[in-house]
Amino acid sequence: MSYKIAVVGATGLVGQEMLKILHERKLPIKELYAFASFRSEGSFVKFGEEKIKVEEARPEKIAKADFALLSIGEEISLEISPEVAKKGTIVIDNSNAFRMNPDVPLVVPEVNPEDLKEHKNIIANPNCSTIQMVVALYPLHKKFNLERIVVSTYQSVSGKGKDAVVELLDQTREFLNGNKIEPKVFPYPIAFNIIPQIDNFEENNYTREEMKMVRESRKIMHLPNLKISVTCVRIPVIRGHSESITATFSKDFTLEEVYNILNKAPGVKVLDSPQEKIYPYPLFCDGKDEVFVGRIRKDLFEENTLNFWVVADNIRKGAALNAVQILEEIIKGG
């Protein structure tokens, strides 16, 4: 079997990475379509050595495909996805549009592939920060029963797209040249600065990004009562999100058990020899597929509690790769 696959939002950071990963992983593709906004119509994107002509993203055209991987704005996805899905195309949507919809599976293939059985032609790809957290936490949860997480994030600018990467680089140059910085994409300068706000604030004064991590983790891990304390912070890194996680379980554990579990966990790579300065950091994880875990240590005072550090490429595992893995999972399941 081979399939007609559409990448929608093909000119964006995540869309281009989807094309790259579809090619790398040799998906059984019969035909590949690239869609983007009308502004990109007629331009080309790369698929291996091939160049694919970009078409304007319109539901009836996207519906030519068996599968559509979407990485477009939430509002546009809300319009396009149901129409495409209605015509029989399976949509894997990277936006926030459908993630908390009870009819839509929200899937990290290492964690809840079984949720794919119930889909109605739309599957949601979780938020980048959520994905890497649950890939590391879920195998530990299965053994020790997760009760509470406290997480602080260190999120790179690529999570906000191409313009944000350009803004960081431009501002950095301006700063080094002693020029004044005019923020456009971010509310304040991001060069040599950090900003404790990602996405807008909800009424409770948590940001939408923080609430996504709360709601999505609970849905993906099927833990509706999980306690989560989360603070999301933007940092001047181009690619790779990091997370400082303190997790409390109902059962006690040894560090040896934790290493054993994480060493065998799908999609996880342990990098943890602190005395040799081995731990994950964003530059190292850039372009890699795994969720990297290090700085693993028992809490000094709180029972059944583990502190650790998780880094992953937010454009790959945090977005494009996870979407392609969902596609592979569906193909595999027939």
Active-site residue, selected from the candidate residues 141, 232, 241, 285: 241
CB within 8 A of 28, min separation 6: which ones? 1, 2, 3, 331
Question: Which of residues 229, 250, 260, 263 is near a copy of itself by CB under 8 A?
Answer: 229
Is 285 labeled as catalytic in the residue annotation? no
Question: Which of residues 2, 101, 192, 287 is near a copy of itself by CB under 8 A?
Answer: 192
Stretch of residues binding a copy of itself (CB under 8 A), selected from 54-62, 78-86, 256-264, 279-287? 279-287
Q: What is the DSSP letter of 125?
A: P
Residue 227 binds to a copy of itself (criterion: CB under 8 A): yes
Here the tokens at position 122 are 């739309």
What is the β-pairing status of strands 50-56 and 44-47? antiparallel
Rounded to whole angstroms, how far apart are CA atoms 227 and 206?
15
Residue 132 binds to a copy of itself (criterion: CB under 8 A): no
Rounded to whole angstroms, how far apart are CA atoms 89 and 81?
9
Q: Is 264 exposed, middle or buried (0-12, 13-18, 19+ CB in 10 A)?
A: exposed
Residue 194 binds to a copy of itself (criterion: CB under 8 A): yes
Residue 318 binds to a copy of itself (criterion: CB under 8 A): no
Of 60 and 276, nearer to a copy of itself (C-beta) is 276
Per-residue 3-state assignment (H helix, E strand, C coil) for 92-104? EECCCCCCCCCCC
* Helix %, strand %, coil % of the chain (to 5): 35, 25, 40
| Residues touching a copy of itself, count (CB under 8 A) | 56
What is the β-pairing status of strands 305-312 and 291-298? antiparallel
Residue 180 binds to a copy of itself (criterion: CB under 8 A): no
Rounded to whole angstroms, how far apart are CA atoms 11 and 248?
41
Of 49 and 205, nearer to a copy of itself (C-beta) is 205
Question: Which of residues 78, 150, 185, 331 is near a copy of itself by CB under 8 A?
Answer: 150
* Contact predicate 241/312, CB 8 Å: yes
Residue 236 binds to a copy of itself (criterion: CB under 8 A): yes
Is 128 labeled as catalytic in the residue annotation? yes
Of 37 and 307, nearer to a copy of itself (C-beta) is 307
Question: Is residue 179 within a helix (H) or strand (E), and if so which, with residue range?
Answer: none
Active-site residue, selected from the candidate residues 119, 128, 141, 285: 128
Rounded to whole angstroms, how far apart are CA atoms 312 and 83?
33
Residue 297 binds to a copy of itself (criterion: CB under 8 A): yes
Question: Which of residues 281, 288, 328, 329 is near a copy of itself by CB under 8 A?
Answer: 281
Question: Which of residues 195, 312, 327, 330 is near a copy of itself by CB under 8 A?
Answer: 195
Active site residues: 128, 241
Q: Enumerate binding residues for a copy of itself (CB under 8 A).
A: 148, 150, 152, 154, 168-169, 172-173, 176, 187-189, 192-197, 201, 204-207, 214, 227-229, 231, 233, 235-238, 242, 244, 246, 274-275, 277, 279-284, 294-297, 299-302, 305, 307, 309
